[in-house]
Copies of this chain bind each other. A is one copy, B any other.
Amino acid sequence: MLIGGIEAGGTKFVCAVGDESGNILDKITFPTEEPDKTLDAAKQFFNKHDIQALGVGSFGPVDLNKKSKTFGSILNTPKLKWKQFHLLDQLKQDYNVPITLDTDVNAAALGEYKYGAAKNVASVLYITVGTGIGAGFVKDGQTYIGKSHPEMGHIFIQQRKDDNFEGNCPYHGTCLEGLASGPAIEKRFGKKGDLLGADHIAWEITADYLAQAIINYLLILSPEKVIIGGGVMKQKQLYPLIRRKVLEFSNAYMELENLDEMIVTPKLNDEQGIKGAIALALLG
């Protein structure tokens, strides 16, 4: 069976066709422009393939509340041409196959769960730390959606006493995203993270906030594995720092064995999103 997948990101769209085993047979990437133009480009790609189902991992916020009148539409995004755009309706017009819509981070979590670093566990949290911070969660083969989809990047944590940064989240100031996203690091230290040295205090501070967030996620969701990806995590020194701080902050309250295997890097080399999108179509 040939399955289509769309990783609908805020800056780029990835479209691919693949099979039930996670193999990708054809793939295309193009920039995210206005909805019509972008979805036309997707249609041109899929016209070449006889797909039986389509999975879509979308940027958000996207209305995933099945009881809602606007189910399947993009909500309050800064990308104005996409705001209130009814993505699922348009896709249904474009493709006469079953369509499964979810968030980009849930798709990435599902990709790693089925084919990557979380292949052998029952539940996984996939955190991405980049321009923003978000997380997707998969348990027992299903992506997690509540009333609508989580927005885990905006949780409150404790700001360090030696950190006076006012935060850069337009809604919450010093929430996790406001303190630890790529733009937050750049704003606090006056240059992009990758221009700071690997031993810069920025990483100690960032690891502190991400470790606190992971503690909160563990206490609330109790996942077996935590994968952290995204542009900021190209700073590989963050992983041991985060693990050390998770252990320190938990302070023996939680039973945390072998954090080297519990808090890990993604395994699918930036293909977790598109492989997960294809896998979404198989959830049924």
Contacts and interface: CB of A to CB of B under 8 A. Distances in A.
Interface string A238-256: 0000000000011111110
Given A152-B220, A219-B152, A220-B152, A158 B174 contact: yes
A219 B147 contact: no
A151 interface: yes
B221 A150 contact: yes
B222 A172 contact: no
A217 B215 CA distance: 13
Given A147-B122, A148-B222, A149-B222, A157 B154 contact: no
Contacts of A255: 75, 148
Given A157-B158, A158-B159, A171 B222 contact: no
Contact of A150 (B150, B152, B212, B222): B222
Interface in A4-32: none
A222 B159 contact: no
Contact of A156 (B147, B154, B216): B216
A146 B139 contact: yes
Interface in A100-148: 122-123, 139, 145-148
A217 B217 CA distance: 9
Interface residues of A, number: 38
A253 B156 CA distance: 13
A222 B252 contact: no
Contacts of A250: 171
Contact of A252 (B148, B159, B171): B171
Given A157-B156, A212-B156, A220 B222 contact: no
A220 B158 contact: no
A255 B70 CA distance: 13
A219 B175 CA distance: 12
A125 to B, nearest CB: 10
B151 A123 contact: no
Interface string A30-44: 000000000000000
A233 to B, nearest CB: 20
A202 to B, nearest CB: 20
9 closest Cβ pairs, A-B complex: A146-B222, A171-B253, A155-B216, A147-B224, A156-B212, A171-B251, A147-B222, A156-B157, A220-B220
27 contacts: A75-B255, A122-B147, A139-B146, A147-B224, A148-B222, A149-B222, A150-B219, A150-B222, A151-B219, A152-B219, A152-B220, A154-B253, A155-B215, A155-B216, A156-B156, A156-B212, A156-B215, A156-B216, A157-B158, A158-B159, A158-B174, A171-B251, A172-B249, A172-B253, A216-B216, A217-B220, A220-B221
